[in-house]
Amino acid sequence: MSTVMVAKKLRRKWENLPGKNTFCCDGRVMMARQKGVFFLTLFLIVGTCALFFAFECPYLAVNLSPAIPAVGAVLFLFVVAMLFRTSFSDPGVLPRALPEEATFIEMEIEAANGNVPPGQRAPPRIRNVQINNQIVKLKYCYTCKIFRPPRASHCSVCDNCVERFDHHCPWVGNCVGKRNYRYFYLFTFSLSLLTIFIFAFDIVQRW
């Protein structure tokens, strides 16, 4: 019984410090709170493909090949799947320091920097670590209270540090980072193919 009570009291870091993200399915799905442009993206993709399948595909299937609607459907499903994977995946959010962890880090920094005279700016908070026999500087994030690894940056929209942060994309409603970059690349590539596919056969149908 006590074990069950302890398990119920335990909370994950994203539950205590969620930043500006929305979590669903026990933390397996996450998105930025600004979802309007994402739904616009989904509407444009679904709407364009619906018009193509409703008005162009019947003619193309009869006069050219029945494989055209099938290929278009596969491309459409792949694009939507990659959009969802990009939008709902964790881009590589670095957990924030809990209050007790942040206090310990602050004590370490103060001990390393010593007493700073009044009116004098404190030195930048940087930690040097050795990786593969090379000295790498880790920058301190004042919001997340952590030393960020190389190529990690703080997203002002989601209010989180993201590993290998590329950019925040409003069209997918999420940051693009280490863990969802491949899905973002596949989404943009497949969307380009789908766009070319629709426009090409629209021109063929009009001829």
> What was the pLDDT predicted at 120?
52
Find the range with the poorest average confidence among 24-38, 70-84, 180-194: 24-38
d(CA 20, CA 111): 32
- The residue-averaged pLDDT of 17-44 equals 83
SS3 for 7?
Answer: helix
- The residue-averaged pLDDT of 181-197 equals 97
- The residue-averaged pLDDT of 164-175 equals 94
Q: What angle do CA 3, 104, 153 make, to 5 degrees?
A: 95
One-letter amino acid of 157: V
In which band, very low, low, confident or very high, does the pLDDT at 1 lie, cut at 50, 70 and 90? very low
Give tens-digit pLDDT for 90-127. 999 998 888 888 888 777 776 666 565 555 555 567 77
Length of the chain as a residue count: 207
d(CA 91, CA 174): 8
Q: Are 123 and 175 in contact (CB under 8 A)?
A: no
With a cut of 60, say whether residue 81 has pLDDT above it. yes
With a cut of 80, say whether residue 196 has pLDDT above it. yes
- Of the residues 158, 161, 169, 175, only one is catalytic, namely 169
> What was the pLDDT predicted at 9?
59
Q: Helix, strand, coil proportions of the chain in percent (round to 5)?
A: 50, 20, 30
Edge-to-edge order in the sheet of strand 146-148: 126-131, 134-141, 146-148
Give tens-digit pLDDT for 125-167. 777 777 788 888 888 898 888 889 988 999 989 999 999 999 9
In which band, very low, low, confident or very high, does the pLDDT at 184 lie, cut at 50, 70 and 90? very high
| HSE-up of residue 28 (Cα within 13 Å, Cβ side) | 3
Is pTM, for the whole model, over 0.95?
Answer: no
> What was the pLDDT predicted at 52?
94
Query: From start to end of 38-108, where are the E strands?
Result: none
Give tens-digit pLDDT for 49-80. 999 999 999 999 999 899 999 999 999 999 99
In which band, very low, low, confident or very high, does the pLDDT at 204 lie, cut at 50, 70 and 90? confident
DSSP state, 33?
Answer: S
Q: How buried is 134 (Cβ within 10 angstroms: 0-12 exposed, 13-18 middle, 19+ buried)?
A: exposed
> Catalytic annotation on 25?
no
